[in-house]
Amino acid sequence: MSKQSVTVIGLGAMGQTLAKTFVHNGHPTTVWNRTPGKVVEGATHAPTAAEAVAASELVVVCVLDYKAAQSVLDLIDLSGKAVVNLTNGTPAHAREFAKGDYLDGGIMAVPQMIGQPEAMVLYSGSKEVFDKYQETLNVLGQSRFVGEDPGLAALYDLALLSAMYGQSAGGLHAVSMVGANRGDFVESLLIPWLTATMFALHTVGESDPESPDDIDASNDLGLEQPGYLR
Ligand code: NDP
């Protein structure tokens, strides 16, 4: 059976890698980038975004931000197309952008990880689109559908990055505290300690049955969510 054809809009560091990975996995791939000259071997380079979109039913977008994605897709007829937008932004951006057969995505990987099992891509929006194209999307990494609200992938993406940055900052601080006494501190103490303390995360957000009134309905922790995440 012939493989699903894919169009990739945006050939930055990430878009190029996505396109190369589709080509590498035998998917007929059409690409377009605002600035000509970025080459993906084995892909068809469309002269305009409209021609690139016309070439495939599945259109993957990966540009700088939603404003850029909007400016590219705004004047293009997307009827009959499934748009998978892997551009980063906020949940509000994703919800505003979602129209028709739409999946929003959050890539939890750097380009070097794409196509490897450790790469994870979060998707939210149309479950129908996800089910139809999951096999194709799986070539990028593990595909995780997180819900039909198109903003969820962006929300979880930001939440996971926030956890990672907090952990990295704490780890760097710990290493700088031990300084010259570092020895094998990282391998023998820091990593096992962080791994062990991760266990506590299982209970984060679980309400205390003794004091259910302490929990605000806005989220499990009773914390005010920043406006951009709502
Ligand atoms: P780059 O800066 O390498 O590339 C940006 C891309 O966006 C280029 O193709 C650029 O085109 C295009 N672009 C910018 N502005 C416009 C515009 N107004 N109209 C059309 N195209 C435009 O970024 P990445 O490829 O690294 O990232 C792309 C997306 O993927 C971002 O949202 C990023 O947050 C996300 N992402 C990236 C990761 C990474 O590690 N790189 C990891 C996870 C997510 P041109 O060549 O013409 O400038």
ipTM score: 0.99
133 part of a folded domain: yes
204 part of a folded domain: no
Nearest CA to ligand 1 atom 12: 63
Give me ligand 1 centre to Cα 230, in Å. 25
The answer to whether the beta carbons of residues 50 and 43 sit under 8 Å apart is: no
pLDDT single digits (tens) 28-73: 999 999 999 999 999 999 999 999 999 999 999 999 999 999 999 9
20 part of a folded domain: yes
pLDDT attached to residue 18 = 98
Nearest CA to ligand 1 atom 21: 34
To test the ligand 1 pocket, which listed residue (16, 18, 63) has its Cβ within 8 A of the most ligand atoms?
63
The answer to whether the beta carbons of residues 58 and 6 sit under 8 Å apart is: yes
68 lines ligand 1 (CB under 6 A): yes
Percent of the chain with pLDDT over 70: 90
Q: 3-state class of 225 per DSSP?
A: coil
Nearest CA to ligand 1 atom 41: 14
State whether the Cα torsion 44-49-55-57 is positive or negative: positive
Residue with tokens 């920043």: 226
Domain count for the chain: 1
213 part of a folded domain: no
pLDDT single digits (tens) 95-108: 999 999 999 999 99
Q: How far from chain centre, in Å, is Cα 144?
A: 10
Among 173, 122, 138, CA closest to 58: 138
Q: 3-state class of 98 per DSSP?
A: coil
53 part of a folded domain: yes
Nearest CA to ligand 1 atom 37: 14
pLDDT attached to residue 217 = 46
Q: What is the CATH number of the domain that holds 17?
A: 3.40.50.720
Q: What distance in Å separates the CA atoms of residue 40 and residue 38, rounded to the nearest whole number?
A: 7
pLDDT single digits (tens) 4-27: 999 999 999 999 999 999 999 999
106 part of a folded domain: yes
Nearest CA to ligand 1 atom 48: 35
Q: Which domain range does residue 147 map to?
A: 6-154
Name the pLDDT band for 215 (thresholds 50, 70, 90): very low
Question: Higher model confidence: residue 118 or residue 182?
Answer: 118
170 part of a folded domain: no
Give me ligand 1 centre to Cα 76, in Å. 20
